[in-house]
Structure 1
Amino acid sequence: MRATDNFDEKKFVGHGGFGIVYKATLDVLEMSSVEGKYQDKLVKKSKTVAIKRILNRQDAHSKEGFFTEIDLLTSCKHPNIVSLVGFSREGREMILVYEYASKGSLNEYFGNNCGKINLTWAQRLQICLDIAHGINYLHTNMEDKPRIIHRDIKSGNILLDENLRAMVADFGLSKIHPKDQQASTRYSENAVGTKVYTDPEYLTSYKYKKESDIYSFGVVLFEILCGRVAYDSIYLAEHVKGLAPIARRRFSEKTLKELIDRKMIDEDDKNIFTLNRGPNQDSFEVFSRIAYQCSAEIQAKRPTMEVVIKELERALKLQVSKHFTEVTIFSFLIFLIPLVITILVP
């Protein structure tokens, strides 16, 4: 309460399905380190954190989500998964404390958000790769971590730090896949998640598996390409399920390029020195194909996260290598033109 000035609105930075998030500074106990080696001594450090105050609801979902996040995040250690700094349960109050992501959530960069920077295509591809690595980590069984299905992958649950490193967050709806359970499919009584991001097969059959997260990630990929959230009114006016079915149809018709975020293209046109902010043809084709495959309506047709990562890396390589070639040619011309003028003009 002291850190948030009694949960003052000025400290408010966002909200999730189960709580309201505040920015605050707390004294945190951390293991001391000397030249990268951790010592047995705890040191108190002042740290900027995100504090989520869980909403008290009549049903048991908020309490269940609170304990789920603690269970999952204490077993997850990965640069693309948000870190849990601590938690508190006192009376009816349930508090979760996370590392603070200073650049906000990914969905804040879509639409007409003038206060946010305009991400280049290479930056967007790197963010996609960060998310993919995070999801792949969740889906992988390890000695100290079970397989985890997130069940609410969306741009609003992707946080960006000061270096634009993307981290998957908000595990209130997540489920652990028991190590001793051979079957990869699990069933739920009711479909959960945000509808425009939710796996269509899961909505009809109530069976979810890691491929359900891959579908949701496919929707996020299309959002990153188009620069609008999947539930934007423009998309909902055309289709009740938002962006995904529209993007899939456009891909099949070979008109998907018309949906590319104009902020990237327009800046290319206006500023010759900012070369290739938008996707080149090769990078676009690789990216759009894997986004289309991820958002397949049938679970069995979706690629594995290993394949997704490989294709996204390929799209980034194609973008960066083409950009390097263009910059090299441009630099050569800048050098050559004055030289030619000097030779031709006596």
Structure 2
Amino acid sequence: MGEVTILKALLATAWLLCVPADQITDYSSTEEVAGSSRLVTCACENRPNCPGTCSGHWCFFTVVHGVQSRGCFEQAQYETCRTARIPGLHISCCNNKDLCNEDLTEPKVPEVKPPASETGPDSVIMLVAVPLLLLLIVAMATCALVLWLRSRKPHYKDDDDAAMMKIPAGADPNYGDIFDEFCTSGSGTGLPYLVQRTMARQISLVECVGKGRYGEVWRGTWTGESVAVKIFSSRDEQSWFRETEIYNTVQLRHDNILGFIASDMTSKNSSTQLWLITHFHELGSLYDFLQYSSLDPEGCLRMCLSVASGLVHLHTEILSTQGKPAIAHRDLKSRNILVKRNGQCCIADLGLAVIHSQNNDYLDVGNNPRVGTKRYMAPEVLDESIRVEVFESYKQTDIWALGLVLWEITRRTVVNGIVEEYRPPFFDVVPSDPSFEEMRKVVCVDQYRPSLHNRLCSHPILSTIAKVMKECWFQSPPARLTALRVRKTLSKLDQDADQSTEKLKQDV
């Protein structure tokens, strides 16, 4: 405390010596001082360039935290004697006789205890201890909740036991009550924000399962569950910010949208890493799945319908207390769709998403400099005729890409013992990494569309899907189907297929 007092005294003294006199105010002098034009000789000490006496209109005596000083004021500085308001500073003035300030002394001030607001050692201890105690209580309660939830969760001896579960539509057996208990019920999706800020310290990274221009995807473990950790590269940080913003402010919990858990930053090797933590699906992306798997027509329909359902949820604005604005994906492709264990799909990667609320009349396109994937770009994007100020335009580009994804799925569907190898859209007319100009020529100038194998026409499910994808590829954006129309068509097809299967069982 002694060092603090000395420091205050030095600062106050320096202030008094340096600040212009008309800016100093006095609070301790109780005399009413009258103006005077008469010069008096004053005692002078502890002042710069002061030989012992000086001449002025006023003599002053100051005490700054025990440091005394005497000197002269000019007539213009008279207000200084009455108006100083600096704690620890005392100023008294006189001009009734020469050297009158030699007789001035500091008045005795009764001892006043510091107010309760001042932070003494005890106060500091309380300020630190109370939040720490509360934090400890919250941490213990959270741990107890996690342990309790884990005790309620069923365990399976092996994957066959898990496969025998009755899985609700779209649910994934890797995730039990813990996510539902922790996930917020407000407008956002995932864990509460403050919990998200600690996620990186709770996750153990196990293996890298994917790499790309965006960064890496790792399988990690958290509270005994596998989770996906998408680690963004520094050049793609805007995508991380965009996905974090959307997931934390928009209600996106849907069977066919990738389940979000948390978003966090962590430091590794003196650099900051941006993490997006989501549900983990071991079958990987639709692109990966189609490389090594083929489908029957019913499995093809299930996949196509689930992608369309996810896109409908994105495109639809929901007006309610827990509603959501409409969202256009802008980078829909098989690499950004994940395959779940029940054969359905979920849409991922919202780093380029556009948000629109008709109710609040706003369009938020974000500020991500990244563009979508050229191979999946619609004609109006390639020829730059898209109306960027109209939200419907972005939805129409999603429909174009949806048609290409349906084409990829149907290629890998077995009909009459025939199935084609996986190939990306336009594989037969552009190189593996096509340029913007190459895609523009093929799609806009030549108006080329992916070819459809004859076998699709021989099956009622695939022939209908083929018709749908053609109506997603119209050159004119308004002529294309909406996501809702695609879902309704495929839903009816699914119902008809179920009825046909049931009738066949009854006949047998």
Q: TM-score, normalised by structure 1?
A: 0.69
User: Which residue does 2:430 correspond to in 1?
Assistant: 236
User: Which residue does 1:65 correspond to in 2?
Assistant: 239
Distance verdict in 2 for CA 1:210–1:184, change over 3 Å: farther
Distance in 1 (alpha carbons) for counterparts of 2:426 and 2:326:
32
Q: Which amino acid aligns with 2:225?
A: K
SS of the residue 1:306 aligns to = helix
Q: Which amino acid aligns with 2:318?
A: M
SS of the residue 2:241 aligns to = helix
Matched, 1:4 2:182: no
SS of the residue 1:77 aligns to = coil
User: Which residue does 1:38 correspond to in 2?
Assistant: none
Matched, 1:315 2:493: yes
Distance in 2 (alpha carbons) for counterparts of 1:183 and 1:93:
32
Matched, 1:15 2:211: yes
Distance verdict in 2 for CA 1:125–1:86, change over 3 Å: same
Q: Which amino acid aligns with 2:479?
A: K
Written as runs of structure 1 = structure 2, the 5 A alignment for 1:261-280 is none
Distance verdict in 2 for CA 1:16–1:148, change over 3 Å: farther
User: Which residue does 1:137 correspond to in 2?
Assistant: 313
User: Which residue does 1:287 correspond to in 2?
Assistant: 465
Query: Are the counterparts in 1 of residues 404 and 425 from structure 2 also a CA contact under 8 Å?
Result: no
User: Which residue does 2:373 correspond to in 1?
Assistant: 194
Written as runs of structure 1 = structure 2, the 5 A alignment for 1:163-242 is 163-179=342-358, 192-203=371-382, 204-206=384-386, 207=388, 208-227=393-412, 228-231=422-425, 233-234=427-428, 236=430, 241=439
Matched, 1:81 2:261: no
Deviations 1:76-131 (A, max 9, x none): 111111111112113521111110012211112334x2xxx422111111111111
Question: 1:169 Cα shift?
Answer: 0.2
Written as runs of structure 1 = structure 2, the 5 A alignment for 1:31-46 is 46=224
User: Which residue does 2:74 correspond to in 1?
Assistant: none
Deviations 1:153-180 (A, max 9, x none): 1111111122122100011111212445
- Tell me which moved more, 306-315 or 131-140: 306-315
Query: Are the counterparts in 1 of residues 375 and 426 from structure 2 also a CA contact under 8 Å?
Result: no
SS of the residue 1:110 aligns to = helix
User: Which residue does 1:302 correspond to in 2?
Assistant: 480
Query: Are the counterparts in 1 of residues 472 and 480 from structure 2 also a CA contact under 8 Å?
Result: yes
User: Which residue does 1:103 correspond to in 2?
Assistant: 283
Distance in 2 (alpha carbons) for counterparts of 1:237 and 1:246:
17
SS of the residue 2:307 aligns to = helix
Question: 1:190 Cα shift?
Answer: 7.5
Structure 2, unmatched stretches of 5+, are 1-199, 413-421
Distance verdict in 2 for CA 1:246–1:316, change over 3 Å: farther
Distance in 1 (alpha carbons) for counterparts of 2:449 and 2:400:
12
Distance verdict in 2 for CA 1:90–1:190, change over 3 Å: closer
Deviations 1:179-223 (A, max 9, x none): 457598979998821112111112222434211111110110111
User: Which residue does 2:94 correspond to in 1?
Assistant: none
Distance verdict in 2 for CA 1:293–1:134, change over 3 Å: same
Identity level (%): 26
Distance in 2 (alpha carbons) for counterparts of 1:325 and 1:248:
37
Q: Which amino acid aligns with 1:215?
A: W
Distance verdict in 2 for CA 1:140–1:215, change over 3 Å: same
Q: Which amino acid aligns with 1:93?
A: Q
Distance in 1 (alpha carbons) for counterparts of 2:363 and 2:237:
27
SS of the residue 1:4 aligns to = strand
Distance verdict in 2 for CA 1:190–1:167, change over 3 Å: same
Distance in 1 (alpha carbons) for counterparts of 2:347 and 2:500:
30
What is the RMSD of the two structures over their aligned residues, measured on CA atoms? 3.4
Query: Are the counterparts in 2 of residues 136 and 305 from structure 1 also a CA contact under 8 Å?
Result: yes
Distance verdict in 2 for CA 1:26–1:186, change over 3 Å: closer
Distance verdict in 2 for CA 1:94–1:189, change over 3 Å: closer
Q: Which amino acid aligns with 2:373?
A: T
Distance in 2 (alpha carbons) for counterparts of 1:138 and 1:215:
15
Q: Which amino acid aligns with 2:348?
A: A
Distance in 2 (alpha carbons) for counterparts of 1:280 and 1:327:
22
Query: Are the counterparts in 1 of residues 260 and 279 from structure 2 also a CA contact under 8 Å?
Result: yes
SS of the residue 2:294 aligns to = coil
Structure 1, unmatched stretches of 5+, are 6-10, 28-45, 251-255, 261-278, 333-346
Among 254, 262, 273, which residue is 1:93 paired with? Answer: 273
Distance in 2 (alpha carbons) for counterparts of 1:175 and 1:79:
21
Q: Which amino acid aligns with 2:354?
A: K
Q: TM-score, normalised by structure 2?
A: 0.49
